[in-house]
A = this chain, B = another copy of it.
Amino acid sequence: MPSTDEFLHVSLAATLSAEIKRGLWSCGQRLPSVRQLGRTHGVSVTTALAAYRLMEDRRLIEARPQKGFYVCPLPHPLTAPEDLILRAERADESLPPEGMHLLNESPGLVSFGTALCAKDLFPVEALGRSIAATARKHRDLLVDVSFSPGSDALRQSIASHASTWNCQLAPDDLLITNGCVEAFGLCLQAVAKPGDLIVVESPAYYGFLSTIARLGMIALPLSFFPDPASALSEITRVTANRRVGACLVSTSVSNPSGLSMTTKAKQALVDSLDRLGVPLIEDATFSDLHFDAVQRAAKSYDRTGNVLLCSSLTKTLAPGLRIGWVAGGRHQDALVSLKRTMSIGQPLLIQEGVAQYLRTGGYHYHLRQLRKKCQSQVEQTAGLALRDFPAGTQVSMPSGGYLLWVQLPDTVFSMDLYRLALREAITIAPGTLFAPDDRFRHYIRLNCGGELDGTRLDALARLAAIACKLA
């Protein structure tokens, strides 16, 4: 365990940063010398220098040779889309992929970082039996090539399931993919070009931001919750000068915010984007985990084939099986062909095994149990966060799923919290991952998918204690 002293420079940097933000030190002003700073705060010169270096890393201050440390111009709040685009284009592309590594689970870590439920919340017995039986009975599935668009039986089951979202889909409207991330990447490649702007929610799942950057496209984060009106008017303005290749929205139970759009808002979104000629990529990964009611998909309002609905069974049924899918509307042929060209198709055995499980009807029962469990764990975590995290902490009010989006006071930087928590073998998802710029540097995402047993309660308390030290 690191001693408290090791955090002195971090908390000193946080204090000074807060002072700068409150305007106690203005842009261009010279800061106290290292020696003065140490004396004022009762810390060593080494600690004072470490605090300045940390602030320098964050570009809050700069060192001028032989002169000392000076306050940098502050990044100002983001407003005009031109500014957003400029910043998006300059964004450090390495951040989201780095995020993927950050969030890997390793044995021994208490994970609030990933977006995965506790394993025992999944129906592994029934599902394992279905797959083993399929492997035993249908040896042909080992040798039959499953060309894109994928297994008829699985697409039939998914089409049936999508009817609960008011979507009337036939198996031929669907393509099976290697998880929702692949589905999203295929959609982007089918409808957009490198250099295009891709409108995303703010905050957005970092995996999507990463895919956008990889494809040479530029993420433009806009806010769609609770009402997409302002985002739509921004898109209208932007499309006058720039090509907007697509708009990605997780319309129900968004990751990380947990928010859902109203059906009216969904309809407005579909109609407006259709008029603007901007394809809507709808992500429904967590949709089935809405606490109150089965959610209607925006896709259900699609009359022109402009909506590409992506989802998966990764978050709701079996994280290990990589079953994703997309109903691509008028882009379906392009998607099927693209998948075929880039990787032929998905393994048939798994598709058939999962279809076999879905046919039993056990999935709906499982979802009901999972939703209840998620709701209870999210509410419990939210309560603890509000009680134990530093004063001023706010939490999202998720409509479903098992993720909690937490806004910390302005003095707490999520990457600091991430690094310090990791030293205590606790992971969180720092907010910086969820936008192409640093607007969420004071946010974290907490995974509430794990049972709040002694270990997790203790870890949450320690996390809160670190945050309080930083505040």
**A interface list, Cβ under 8 A from B:** 96-97, 100, 104-105, 114, 116, 119, 122, 124-125, 127-129, 131-133, 135-136, 139-147, 177-179, 181-182, 185, 194, 207, 210-211, 214, 314, 318-322, 337-338, 340-350, 353
A347 near B344 with CB under 8 A, answer no
Which chain B residue lies CB-closest to A100? Answer: B340
Q: How far is the CA of A116 from the CA of B146 in the complex (A)?
A: 13
Residues of B within 8 A of A342 (CB): 181-182, 185, 211, 214
Of A207, A338, A341, most buried by chain B (CB within 10 Å of CB) is A341
Which chain B residue lies CB-closest to A96? Answer: B341
Q: Which 5 A-B pairs have the closest CB atoms?
A: A182-B343, A132-B135, A124-B139, A178-B343, A119-B143
CB-contact partner of A128 in B116, B129, B135, B343, under 8 A: B135
Taking A132-B135, A135-B132, A321-B349 as contacts, is the C-beta distance between A341 and B211 under 8 angstroms?
Answer: yes
Taking A104-B147, A143-B124 as contacts, is the C-beta distance between A320 and B349 under 8 angstroms?
Answer: yes
Q: How far is the CA of A196 from the CA of B352 in the complex (A)?
A: 40
A119 near B140 with CB under 8 A, answer yes
How many copies of this chain are found per oligomer? 2
Smallest Cβ distance from A43 to chain B, in angstroms? Answer: 39
Smallest Cβ distance from A102 to chain B, in angstroms? Answer: 12
* A/B interface sample: 14 pairs, CB < 8 A: A100-B147, A100-B340, A119-B140, A124-B143, A125-B139, A127-B142, A179-B344, A181-B341, A182-B344, A207-B344, A320-B347, A321-B347, A321-B349, A322-B345
Q: How far is the CA of A128 from the CA of B345 in the complex (A)?
A: 20
Of A139, A140, A142, A177, most buried by chain B (CB within 10 Å of CB) is A142
Taking A182-B343, A341-B97, A343-B178 as contacts, is the C-beta distance between A142 and B116 under 8 angstroms?
Answer: no
CB-contact partner of A320 in B114, B146, B318, under 8 A: B146
Taking A135-B131, A136-B128 as contacts, is the C-beta distance between A145 and B320 under 8 angstroms?
Answer: yes
Taking A97-B341, A182-B343, A341-B97 as contacts, is the C-beta distance between A142 and B318 under 8 angstroms?
Answer: yes
Residues of B within 8 A of A338 (CB): 214
Q: How far is the CA of A319 from the CA of B133 in the complex (A)?
A: 20
Q: How far is the CA of A139 from the CA of B121 in the complex (A)?
A: 13
Residues of B within 8 A of A96 (CB): 341
B341 near A322 with CB under 8 A, answer no
Smallest Cβ distance from A281 to chain B, in angstroms? Answer: 15
Smallest Cβ distance from A17 to chain B, in angstroms? Answer: 32
Q: How far is the CA of A337 from the CA of B141 in the complex (A)?
A: 30
Which chain B residue lies CB-closest to A211? Answer: B341
Smallest Cβ distance from A165 to chain B, in angstroms? Answer: 24
B122 near A145 with CB under 8 A, answer no
Residues of B within 8 A of A340 (CB): 97, 100
Smallest Cβ distance from A457 to chain B, in angstroms? Answer: 23
Q: How far is the CA of A338 from the CA of B182 in the complex (A)?
A: 12
Q: How far is the CA of A140 from the CA of B319 in the complex (A)?
A: 10
Residues of B within 8 A of A145 (CB): 105, 114, 116, 314, 319-320
Which chain B residue lies CB-closest to A127? Answer: B142
Smallest Cβ distance from A116 to chain B, in angstroms? Answer: 7
CB-contact partner of A349 in B147, B314, B350, under 8 A: B350
Residues of B within 8 A of A129 (CB): 136
Residues of B within 8 A of A127 (CB): 142
